[in-house]
Amino acid sequence: MSERNMQDSNLIARYKSGDAEAFTSLYERYKGMVAAYVCALTGSREEAENIVQEVFLAVVRRIDSLTPEGNFRAYLLTRARGLALNLRRVRTPASGDCPDAVLDAPGPPEVAQGRENAKRLEGALAALPQEQREVVALRAHAGLTVREIAELLDEPLGTIKSRYRYALEKLRASLVEAEQ
């Protein structure tokens, strides 16, 4: 069991025994990752925030069924994915509503260029097929390995590797095209 899973299992056990601070720790640890992942899937900051709330509300409602030994991060991402996919069935994802990338540029021209590049990347991500966008989002925002993504999505490892490779190729081509 990884160090993160051990820490999560300890926090889950503490929350089950009534320690509200343990839930706060879990929420603070994972809310950003879940929001970034959902925002990449839906293209909407507002929907991402709503889904984050729904995911953690599910934790509160189902705390008795959560096992401390389980992979809490995978549980959150699976729950968030299901809610995002349900939302996608209702509407098409937006583009350009997710938070700007964190930029370290010192001056306004560099900040403007960085934001333009972030918007270009966001548009290119939105143009990817859902399956490829999801793999990129899990890799980039949740920090999962391709093996972990394959397990989470219950897909063959080779399929996930292909989706990731094709997505990166499309992103490169789209960004090169946008620069010309």
pLDDT digits (tens, 9 = 90+) for 119-145: 777 788 888 998 999 999 898 888 889
Q: Are 21 and 80 contained in the same domain?
A: yes
Distance in angstroms (rounded) separating the CA atoms of residues 157 and 92: 28
Burial category of 129 from C-beta neighbours within 10 Å (exposed 0-12, middle 13-18, buried 19 and up) = exposed
Does 43 reside within a domain? yes
pLDDT confidence of residue 71 = 86
Q: Are 83 and 34 contained in the same domain?
A: yes
Q: Which domain holds residue 122?
A: 108-179
Name which residue leads in pLDDT, 162 or 92: 162
Mean pLDDT of 87-113: 48
Count structural domains, the chain: 2
Name which residue leads in pLDDT, 7 or 93: 7
Q: Are 19 and 67 contained in the same domain?
A: yes
- Position 148 pLDDT exceeds 70: yes
Q: Are 123 and 160 contained in the same domain?
A: yes
Distance in angstroms (rounded) separating the CA atoms of residues 142 and 122: 17
Percentage of the chain beyond pLDDT 70 is 79
Contact 31, 99 (CB under 8 A): no
Contact 127, 119 (CB under 8 A): no
- Position 111 pLDDT exceeds 60: no
- Position 153 pLDDT exceeds 70: yes
Q: Are 79 and 141 contained in the same domain?
A: no
Looking at 90, 125, 155, which one is the last position of a domain? Answer: 90
Q: Are 117 and 165 contained in the same domain?
A: yes
Looking at 57, 90, 123, which one is the last position of a domain? Answer: 90
Nearest one of 26, 25, 27, 44 to 36, comparing CA atoms: 44
- Position 100 pLDDT exceeds 90: no
Q: Are 121 and 78 contained in the same domain?
A: no
